[in-house]
Amino acid sequence: MTGLFNERKQKTEVWFIYILVGLTFFYFCQEAFARSSRQKEDSSIVAFAQVNRNEILLGDKLIYSLIVKSRDDIEIDFPQLRGDDLAGFTVKDFGLRKSNFLGRRVFRQWYLLVTYTSGEHTISAGVIKYRLKKNSEWKIIEVAPVKVRVKSLLAGKRHYDDIRDIKGPKGLVHYGWLSTIIGVILVFLSVVSLVWFSRKTQKIVSSQDSLPAHIIAYEALERLRKKDLIKNGKIKEYYAELSDIVRHYLEDRFNIRAPRMTTEEFLFKMRDENVLSSQQKGLLKDFLLSCDLVKFARHTPGEKEADLAFSCAKTLVDQTKKEEETGPHHHY
């Protein structure tokens, strides 16, 4: 009887171990599947925040934007910004802009902010909710905070608590002929510098005028294509150079000077100049926003998406170049 009892006990322990191992294996498989699903879902949405300037004066207006790029089957819920999130800023105006680019929707929730408190400010948008349209459960994606420095209008001015009495006049020192020689040398150097600078400027203007703006843009695009930056993994560098080519072309083509403007300011400038058609303005906006997603939001597009961005850049040049200008045709 004792041997039979021990044998049954051993069989029971073996079956218990089998069941425990099976449950453990099932748990880890389910967890791996859930993690894979979450990663796949999270890769379908990109969100980031940006401001048009990182340093302003008291009373200046600041444009703060929340930008989300997602698939068409995802529903977005932007947060309600509170006073603590805005770090002392006050909302003067706000709005939402929607667009589509390369098969994805791009949302830009913008706020016009102002503050009268100087110092370092950190604007925190918190989290953005999203979910599949067929799913009732909301997910969240965190947006990195943005730092803004607000300078006082009185910064840099001196305090006059330690003003001293005016010292008496000092006698002039006469250097005689030495001062005359120094004066002649300075005049000679000024004339030489003026002539050299004038000739150099004329050469630069002449070389720039020799080629139309669209030919310069075509050659820059060809050089970028030959670098193979996408295949070498330099995706951010590729999009930065591509957006610079388009911006420099538009500045030269329409005589617009905006080298330090943000994307938002540059688009406002192009809209005010009224030199592009509505279709061209939409294409330019979608193109620049797509480049910003790569440069600032760590979005990693594929080679096909990079080729489409390149085609958009070339299309902008093709549609806006001067018809009367002639030059070699470029095909990519």
Instruction: State residue 32's pLDDT score.
Output: 46
Instruction: State residue 322's pLDDT score.
Output: 80
Model confidence at 257, in pLDDT bands (50, 70, 90)?
confident
SS3 assignment for the chain? CHHHHHHHHHHHHHHHHHHHHHHHHHHHHHHHHHHHHHHHHHCCEEEEEEECCCEEECCCCEEEEEEEEECCCEEEECCCCCCCCCCCCEEEEEEEEEEEECCEEEEEEEEEEECCCCEEEEECCCEEEEEECCCCCCEEEECCCEEEEEECCCCCCCCCCCCCCCCCCCCCCCCCHHHHHHHHHHHHHHHHHHHHHHHHHHHHHHHHHCCCHHHHHHHHHHHHHHHCCCCCCCHHHHHHHHHHHHHHHHHHHHCCCCCCCCHHHHHHHHHHHCCCCHHHHHHHHHHHHHHHHHHHCCCCCCHHHHHHHHHHHHHHHHHHCCCCCCCCCCCC
pLDDT tens per residue across span 97-127? 888 877 788 888 888 888 878 888 888 866 8
What percentage of the chain exceeds 90 in pLDDT? 13
pLDDT tens per residue across span 204-251? 555 555 789 999 999 999 999 999 988 898 989 999 999 999 999 999
- pTM higher than 0.85 for the full model? no
Could you give the C-alpha distances from 183 to 44, 171, 173, 197, in angstroms and in order?
70, 21, 16, 21
